[in-house]
Each structure stands twice: as C-alpha cells, then as structure tokens.
Amino acid sequence: LTETDVGRETCHVVTSSLVENIKGSPDQSEPQKQAPEFWDTSVGRFRFTLADLPPQLRLIHSILTNLGNEREADVHYFMLSTVKLLCLHCESLLNARREHRGFLIWAQENLLIPKLWPSPSW
C-alpha cells in the first residue's frame, strides 16, 4: 500500500514567514492600565493588588466601583443587598479583616463612604 491508497496526504513547507506589525493584529493589544500597587488611606499606605484578592472581595470591589454608573434606585438597592449578603452570609470579611486589612480600609474610605454619603455641595 502507498500513501495515496490509504488516503493520507503529505506536504512540505517550502518557506515560512512571520507576520508582524500588522495594524489591528491580535498580538498588538492596547497597554492595560496598571493598577496602583500602593493604596493610600487615612491609616497609612497599603500594598495590595486586586488580582491577589479572593474572588469575594473582587466581586465586592466590582459592585462598589460600578455603583456610581447606575442611576436607578432599584439597581442601587439590589447591588447593595448583594454586598450585604456577601459580607454577612458568605463570610467574605471573616479572614479579610486580618489578611486584607488595607483593602477593607481603602474600600470603606474610597468606595462606600463617598458614594453612600456624598458631601453636601453648598
């Protein structure tokens, strides 16, 4: 039996070429915004990255940062209820008070208080 009898095909690469620097190629993505490594709070500077946080704290961060994007009161209520359930019933803050203290202080000072109790504009 030969290769043509079996149904297999063979091919040979004559030349290879590398395609680079094409506008819009998937390899050239826009540089991502670097998250700050040090986060300033009233207690001091803390070093943490959002990628190192547990998933529950990342979800809380995402909800609280997107809270200002919504205008409807029902959506605000649902988002804050979700944060409440994560904190009270899922015990998201159980180990975070020791291991991720800086994130909790920063989130309280920069995400919760300014969005829930805005300063009067008088």
Residues 6+ away with beta carbon under 8 Å from 107 = 60, 61, 64
Q: Mind listing the pLDDT tens digit for each residue in 10-23?
A: 656 566 565 565 55
In a domain, residue 3? The reply is no
In a domain, residue 104? The reply is yes
In a domain, residue 94? The reply is yes
pLDDT of 68 reads: 85
In a domain, residue 62? The reply is yes
Residue carrying structure tokens 């969005």: 115
pLDDT for 57 beyond 80: yes
Average pLDDT rounded to a whole number, residues 47-75? 90
Q: Which of 24-33, 49-58, 105-114 shows the lowest per-residue confidence on average (mean pLDDT)?
A: 24-33
pLDDT for 74 beyond 90: yes
In a domain, residue 59? The reply is yes
Domain count along the chain? 1
Q: Name the average pLDDT for the chain.
A: 78
pLDDT of 119 reads: 72
pTM for the model stands at 0.63
Identify whether the C-beta of residue 78 lies closer than 8 Å to the C-beta of residue 23. Answer: no
Q: Which tops the pLDDT comparison, 12 or 38?
A: 38
Nearest to 111 by CA among 67, 47, 58: 67
